[in-house]
Amino acid sequence: MKIETFYDVPVEILSSEYGLYKPNLEQSNTSVLPSIARHMNLNNKEALDNKVFNPKLNKRIAEQFSAGVENLVFFICDAIGVVHLEQFGGFLWDNITNQGMVGSTMFPSMTSTVMTSISYGMNPSDHGLVGYNIYNEKLDTIWNSLNLKYLKDDKATFVLDEYQISDFVSGDPLIDIITAPENQITGTFLAPNMPYNPNLIDLINPNLQSIQYTDYADAGKQLLSQLDQDGRQLIAIYLGDADIAGHGYGPDSAYYKGAVQGIERLVSTVTQHPKFKDGSTIGALTADHGQVQVNHEVSQWMDWETWRSIRNEGVTLSTSGRVLHAYCEPRALDKGRMKLEELANSRGYVIDKKDAISMSGGNDTFEMRYGDFMMIMEDGYLADIPEIVPLGDPMHLHGQHGSLTPKELFVPIGLFGGEL
């Protein structure tokens, strides 16, 4: 086992040839909410016992909030990686280097998997949402875990029309634990007008009061208005502009940098509220993953006809961004690995189900949901295949994630307020 350390986060090398690293499950974004909850005055702290705990983050919070935490504002960012954040410098980078820290994300580094881990405080192998387009044993087919749809008789169908949340995700959301009646904490979730409904939020935070905002100026006003109210509060906000800009233009673009700076301005403004200054309120920020710039000269895009021909050979391919899953019929196990090696084109690393389960927490309860094999791509490369039920019109992305390069793997853990 060979270890490298990035940003004070030790990680095991998965493939030195392709620049891939295994997630650090202890120093992860999954640990942020449960680590903070342990410093809040809760009457049901025993419910936190099975949640991911980060001793290093716990110590950092204890040093800055010695009297404990009454209120929490949780900034949940989509697609802000530390590698790019360091390049940009600025408010967020200064915070994580002085008050916060750097964390690791999960495998695969996809929004649905990691947002569920952040919301539940559990590793993917424990909560069961182990990828983006993945197999589910209740459906007995592949489903899209962002728009919550699968194909039934060739028609896109919402999974919760016929099934329960527990058929897809296992465990208790942390926000439900924190805002349980005995704690007398009000929970509010702020989100943009989503381009597709229903969506992942309906799966992971179904009981939380949701308020929509139009832009970050509106989000800031609504956040400050919530903070002005009396009583203990947990306020969470999803910030997705960096992901949109990254997919559309790439994380090396001025559009992506501008989106990150817009988030910085919002966080900087909100954390000037007096409740952060008096030590009663902690602000926390993390992200689900970073992104890499897609090199179109070496990448490839598969059409539906090719996908169907491969399925007819006994191999069903599905996508978690820069990770491909191969679900194989018994007769086609060798063919599944070979097909992923072909798609890798000497730019990706193929692992088996056992390795994938280990990297996502080690619990094999949801073994059937993992592909028999998975291909994890090096920086810049994308072997794109059709989504089972697409989020929108197909496009050749300029930025993508899902893999385990440093650009995707390392994410910020910001802390605001307190005694420092």
Q: Where are the domains of the chain?
A: 3-289+407-416, 300-400
The residue with tokens 């995707």 is 408
* 269 CB-contact burial (10 Å; exposed 0-12 / middle 13-18 / buried 19+): middle
- For CA atoms 8, 271, 39, 33, the dihedral sign is negative
User: What CATH class has 300-400?
Assistant: alpha beta
- Name which of 384, 369, 224 is nearest 301 in CA terms: 384
Query: What is the spatial distance between Cα 130 and Cα 110, in angstroms, rounded to a whole number?
Result: 9
- Residue 12 is classified by DSSP as E
Which residues make beta-bridge pairs with 349?
A: 376
- Name which of 208, 46, 21, 28 is nearest 126 in CA terms: 28
Which residues make beta-bridge pairs with 11?
A: 4
Which helix (H) or strand (E) segment holds residue 3: the answer is strand 3-6
Contact 148, 141 (CB under 8 A): no
Give the CA distances from residue 21 to residues 13, 28, 54, 108, 110, in Å, rounded to whole numbers and listed in that order: 5, 14, 19, 12, 16
Query: What is the spatial distance between Cα 327 and Cα 135, in angstroms, rounded to a whole number?
Result: 8
Sequence-distant (6+) residues with CB within 8 A of 267 are 75, 91, 92, 283, 285, 414, 416
**148 phi-psi bin (left φ>0, alpha ψ -120 to 50, beta other):** left
Query: What is the spatial distance between Cα 118 and Cα 36, in angstroms, rounded to a whole number?
Result: 12
Taken as a whole, the chain contains a residue count of: 420
Pick the CATH number of 3-289+407-416 from 2.40.110.20, 3.30.9.10, 3.30.565.10, 3.40.720.10: 3.40.720.10
Query: What is the spatial distance between Cα 251 and Cα 245, in angstroms, rounded to a whole number?
Result: 7
pLDDT at 417: 94
pTM equals: 0.96
The residue with tokens 């673009």 is 253
pLDDT at 18: 98
The count of C-alpha atoms lying within 13 angstroms of the C-alpha of 88, restricted to the half-sphere facing its C-beta, is 25
pLDDT at 194: 65
Contact 323, 368 (CB under 8 A): no
Query: What is the spatial distance between Cα 324 and Cα 133, in angstroms, rounded to a whole number?
Result: 9
Which residues make beta-bridge pairs with 327?
A: 316
**Token reading at 185:** 């904490």
* Positions in the chain short of pLDDT 70: 194-200, 202-204, 206, 419-420
Classify strands 133-136 and 141-144 as parallel, antiparallel or unpaired.
Answer: antiparallel
pLDDT at 82: 98
Contact 139, 318 (CB under 8 A): no
pLDDT at 203: 65
Backbone angles phi, psi at 136, to 5 degrees: -130, 130
- Name which of 239, 409, 352, 287 is nearest 32 in CA terms: 287
**154 phi-psi bin (left φ>0, alpha ψ -120 to 50, beta other):** left
Query: What is the spatial distance between Cα 287 and Cα 102, in angstroms, rounded to a whole number?
Result: 10
pLDDT at 375: 98
Sequence-distant (6+) residues with CB within 8 A of 170 are 126, 127, 128, 365, 366
- Name which of 412, 417, 291 is nearest 32 in CA terms: 412
**Helices 254-270 and 91-98 meet at what angle, rounded to 10?**
60
Query: What is the spatial distance between Cα 72 and Cα 234, in angstroms, rounded to a whole number?
Result: 5
